Amino acid sequence: MLNEMQIAFAHCDVLVTAGAGPAPVLAPKLAAWPSPSRFVPFAVTGNPAIVVCTGFSRAGLPLSMQLVGKPFDDANVVGIAHAYEQATGWSNRRAIVAPESRTAPFTHTASALSTHAMDQKMVDSCAQAAQSAGLRLDDRHLALLCRAAPHLLEMIDRVRGWQQQPSESASVFVPRSD
């Protein structure tokens, strides 16, 4: 993807792509992790990108386009977006939201968590660590800690591995001793 982006930018300063389309109506499903979209490639390649309003749908919801720049050319992307907004005036308008189209407020119910079905060795280890830190956790909070603990332990192992093999990756920060 990086090579393809480099080829694309050999002939232009900024790519213009479609935005997300009409803004979705606010609904609880928007809180879910988004599926891959036209924005993901630029997050992966590290290209600076910005979305600007290009008008409004018949329902009065914003439409947009995305401007994507060369790596580290953020100022150019923001400058072009600003110039577009000044020339069109779309950024000065606001969506029209009819009172009858407003959705009910979001509600969130925490999932029930318990240590009962968890590995007892992990539960004991987490309980001991919490106690050593001076924390008094109820069963739900201890379950959250136990659920996160394997990921934390894996990160610790990776950091220790990097300290022993500092040349493993160019993107790894290795503290200097001098």
Class of residue 1 by CB neighbours under 10 A (exposed 0-12, middle 13-18, buried 19+): exposed
Does residue 108 register a pLDDT over 90?
A: no
What does the pLDDT read at residue 82? 94
SS3 for the chain, per residue? CHHHHHHHCCCCCEEEEECCCCCCCCCHHHHCCCCCCCCHHHHHHCCCEEEEEEEECCCCCEEEEEEEECCCCHHHHHHHHHHHHHHHCHHHCCCCCCHHHCCCCCCCCCCCCCCCCCCHHHHHHHHHHHHHCCCCCCHHHHHHHHHHHHHHHHHHHHHHHHHHCCCCCCCCCCCCCC
* Bridge partners, 51 (sequence order): 66
pLDDT in tens, 74-103: 999 999 999 999 999 888 887 766 666 566
pLDDT in tens, 18-50: 887 776 666 666 656 555 566 677 878 888 999
What does the pLDDT read at residue 84? 94
Rounded to two decimals, the pTM is 0.51
pLDDT in tens, 60-75: 788 889 999 998 899 9
Q: What is the mean pLDDT of residues 149-156?
A: 84
What does the pLDDT read at residue 114? 86
Query: Where residue 170 falls among pLDDT bands split at 50, 70, 90?
Result: very low
Residue pair 145/122 in contact by the 8 Å Cβ criterion: no
